[in-house]
Each structure stands twice: as structure tokens, then as C-alpha cells.
Amino acid sequence: MAVTIKDVAKKAGVSPSTVSRVLSNHPRISVETSRKVKEIMEQLGYHPNIMAKSLVSKTTNSICIMLPKSAEELFSNFFFMELIRGIVTQASRLGYDVLISSGANEKEEVEAVSRLLNGRRVDGVILLYSRKDDPVIDFLYENGHHFVLIGRSERYPDTLSVDNDNVQASYDAAKHLISLGHERIGFVSGPPDLVFSKDRLKGFMDALNDAGLEMRPEWIVEGEFLQDSGYRAMSFFMNLPDRPTAIVLIDDVVSFGVLRSLHELKYKVPEDLCLVSFNNIPLSELSTPPLSSIDIGIYNLGYTASQLLIQSIENGNDKNYQKRQIIPHRLMIRESSMHSISKK
């Protein structure tokens, strides 16, 4: 049997409540008693029972991360791990534990979140992704739970979220290519139901528009693709009569696939095609050639999300802090985009 607050109390010759007060650093407790109690606790190897504490205090000091379904996740393991590190680091700094959960489909996800939140096991949730029309978000929103989104929700714009300015980031990426003289620029997107895919496409289009550049539908490849399908897509892409001289890609991992395909098709990067992508994963500077990429501060996204959620849990949802936090991005220029086009 584990040692409880009563055991400590008895041995210290005080009441359980005194021990409890020592535990929570209650102001009105004599230094002497406190010292003594702490000594006994040490001596007995006392550890407060977290569950019991939670039960009465009605707060768990823990938050939950919802992992995306594996299909989406494969998209970028690096991304999620980095996010998680940020979240866990900040959470534990603030005295919170982090629970990690997932579901095979949206129904299971809602069930998991509901069980955890309604069952009072966690105080709030961080969603690592922003899908369009996500029933999990509906559930969270309708039941007034504490939650924050990595990304943003179109349906509930007033929800707490941590995001990049993806429109601007993508604008910057395109602008970079335009400044190198590229006039035919393509875009390789990700899963269309992810909000950032849309945002990045928009920023891309804005940049082209502002520069008065043409934008052909066949220069825009939608949907996730790696390996095989990537090969076919690139093959098609590079055989277009007026093929682009540069592309913006939704994600570094996609870039790796494209790089591989281009290599097999005997095209040279950046000479035949310039590449700029997103996320700046550690491997992006180790590819051949190194990838230009927009660093979106993944760790920072997680870190900030964690902070925002805990703030909301502790101070209530309706404070007037920033509902939507934007993490700055930064274009890392590397070899994959270092090829300028001289204007004809």
C-alpha cells in the first residue's frame, strides 16, 4: 500500500489538512511545521496521488493531443514529432502532463476526445491539423471545451488557434522565384481538405497576380503524392509545351519525391526547374541539391499552442488575449532555387 497523506500526518503529529496545505504551499503555515512535514514526506517516500487530487480539485493538469489519422500523418512525421516536442516542453514547464490520442476515423476521434474531456481526464485539447468540416472541432466547440488548433478553422474563426500566415508565406515563396525572373511557375499542393493547402495556394496565386504572371490550371497539381504518382505527375508536368521553370511545393517531403522523380527523368534542379517548399525539415538541407524551404517554426507552433491552451484553461476562455497567434516564417534559400532566368 502506498503512503498517503494520513500516514504523513500521523507520523508528523499533525492533521491531514496541514499536510495538504504544506503540499500546496499554503501561506498560513508555520515554517517549522512545513519543514518538518516535508522531512517526513521525504523520509516516507510520499507521493501525492494525482487522481485523488484531480477528483476533488476538478482539474487534471493535463492536456491532450489529437494525432491525425495515420494516412494524413505519413505526410510528415517530422512535422508532428517536432510539434509534439514543442507542446510537451512547454506543457511540462507549466506543470501539465500531455496525453496523446488518436482515432482510426473521425467518429473514433470524437469518441476519444469526448471520453477524455467529459470523463474529466484532461482539461483541454490541441488539434494538430485543421481539416475542413471537422466533426471533432464541432464537438469541441459546441460543448464549450478548451481547445486550440494548429492551423485555423474556417467555420469557427474565433476559435483559439496557432498558425502561420500561410498566405503570406506562400506569397513570399512565389515572390522569391519571381524575383529570380521566373515567369512560368507551378504549384504542387497537398490534400485539398487541409486548410493550409488552400491558404498556400491562395498566397501563391496572389503573388502571380500581383506580378501580372500567367497561371495555367495545368501548372497546378492538387492532391498528395509521393513516389509513383509523383513520378507520373512530374513526367506529365515536365512534358507540357510551356512547362514551368519553377514550382512551389506544399511540403519538403513532397519535394523529396519530386526531386527523385526529376532525377530519374534526367532533369536538373535548379537548372531545369527551381523548387521552393515548406516546413524546412532538418533533412531539407541534406538533399541533393539542398532545398529552399520556408521555415514555419514548427517547434514554436507547438510551444505556443501549448501555452495558449493552458492559459485558456487557467484564465478562462474569454480573456482578451490574442485568439489567433501567428508564428513568423522565414524563407531559407538554398541551392534548389538558385537559378535565375534572364528575361527575354
Binding site for DNA (CB under 7 A): 1-2, 4-6, 13-18, 20-21, 23-24, 26-30, 32-34, 46-49, 52-53, 55-58
Would you say 18 or 245 has its CB closer to DNA? 18
**What H or E segment, with its residue span, contains residue 332?**
strand 330-332
- Cα distance from N-terminal residue to C-terminal residue, the chain: 83
Of the candidate spans 14-22, 27-35, 51-59, 216-224, the one that interacts with a copy of itself by CB under 8 A turns out to be 51-59
Among 13, 35, 50, 333, binds a copy of itself (CB under 8 A): 50
What does 259 bind: a copy of itself, DNA, none (CB cut-off 5 to 8 Å by kind)?
a copy of itself
Look-up of cell digits 471545451: 145
Q: Can residue 265 be called a binding residue for a copy of itself (CB under 8 A)?
A: no
Q: Can residue 37 be called a binding residue for a copy of itself (CB under 8 A)?
A: no
Q: Can residue 266 be called a binding residue for a copy of itself (CB under 8 A)?
A: no
What does 24 bind: a copy of itself, DNA, none (CB cut-off 5 to 8 Å by kind)?
DNA
Rg (CA), the chain: 26
276 touches 177 (CB < 8 A): yes
Burial class (CB within 10 angstroms; exposed 0-12, middle 13-18, buried 19+) of 280: buried
DSSP string, 96-139: -EEEEE--SSHHHHHHHHHHHHHTTS-SEEEES--BTT-HHHHH
Angle at 294 between CA 292 and CA 297, to 5 degrees: 135
Among 279, 287, 304, 337, binds a copy of itself (CB under 8 A): 287
Of the candidate spans 17-25, 26-34, 111-119, 161-169, the one that interacts with a copy of itself by CB under 8 A turns out to be 111-119
What does 112 bind: a copy of itself, DNA, none (CB cut-off 5 to 8 Å by kind)?
a copy of itself
What is the distance between the alpha carbons of residues 120 and 50, in angstroms, rounded to a whole number?
A: 13
Would you say 62 or 153 has its CB closer to a copy of itself? 62
Would you say 34 or 229 has its CB closer to DNA? 34
Q: Measure Cα distances from 333 to 6, 9, 29, 257 in Å.
A: 63, 63, 59, 19
Among 18, 22, 41, 60, binds a copy of itself (CB under 8 A): 60
Peptide bond before 217: cis, by omega within 30 degrees of 0? no
What does 168 bind: a copy of itself, DNA, none (CB cut-off 5 to 8 Å by kind)?
none
Where would I find the H helices in 13-62?
16-23, 31-44, 50-57
Would you say 13 or 328 has its CB closer to DNA? 13
Q: Can residue 224 be called a binding residue for a copy of itself (CB under 8 A)?
A: no
Q: How far apart are CB 58 and DNA at their closest, in Å? A: 7
What is the distance between the alpha carbons of residues 33 and 232, in angstroms, rounded to a whole number?
A: 75
Look-up of cell digits 467518429: 107
Give me the residues that bind a copy of itself (CB under 8 A), please. 2, 45, 47-52, 54-55, 60, 62, 65, 67, 70, 73-74, 77-78, 80-82, 84-85, 88-89, 92, 97-103, 112, 114-116, 118-121, 226-227, 253, 256-257, 259-260, 263, 282-283, 285-288, 290
